[in-house]
Amino acid sequence: MLNNENEFGFVEWNVNFFPDSSEPLNSAILKHAVRCHDQNTCFKWAGLYQNFSTILDDIIVQNLREIGKWSNENKIP
């Protein structure tokens, strides 16, 4: 993903996954980080506009599937 030059959509707490900004990989990820107001905003930008990637944990993914947000208008994932 880093070779792709895409930015990463982060909600503020995602930064906790990359505590050592002196480490090259963490530094590269944080350099391309875009702060989202909330997780839904990150998800919409990544899914609809496909302009960056985001981090979703398994619980969020399961919830999005259950409420139909993980598929398009034709119910295709």
Asked if residue 75 is part of any domain, the answer here is no
DSSP single-letter state for residue 71: S
pLDDT score, position 55: 72
Indicate whether this model's pTM tops 0.85.
no
Asked if the structure places residue 38 within a domain, the reply is yes
**Which domain does 20 fall in, by range?**
2-66
Give the closest residue to 29 by CA, choosing from 66, 59, 55.
55
The verdict on residue 73 lying in a domain is: no
Is 76 inside a domain boundary? no
Q: Using an 8 Å Cβ cutoff, are 35 and 15 in contact? A: no
Query: How many structural domains does the chain have?
Result: 1
Domain assignment present for residue 77? The answer is: no
Residue-level pLDDT, tens digit, the chain, 77 residues: 667 777 778 888 888 888 877 888 888 888 888 888 888 888 788 777 777 777 776 777 777 777 777 677 776 76
71 within domain boundaries: no
DSSP 1-59: -GGGT-EEEE-GGGGGG---TTSHHHHHHHHTEEE-SSHHHHHHIIIII--EEE---HH
Q: Give residue 42's pLDDT.
A: 82
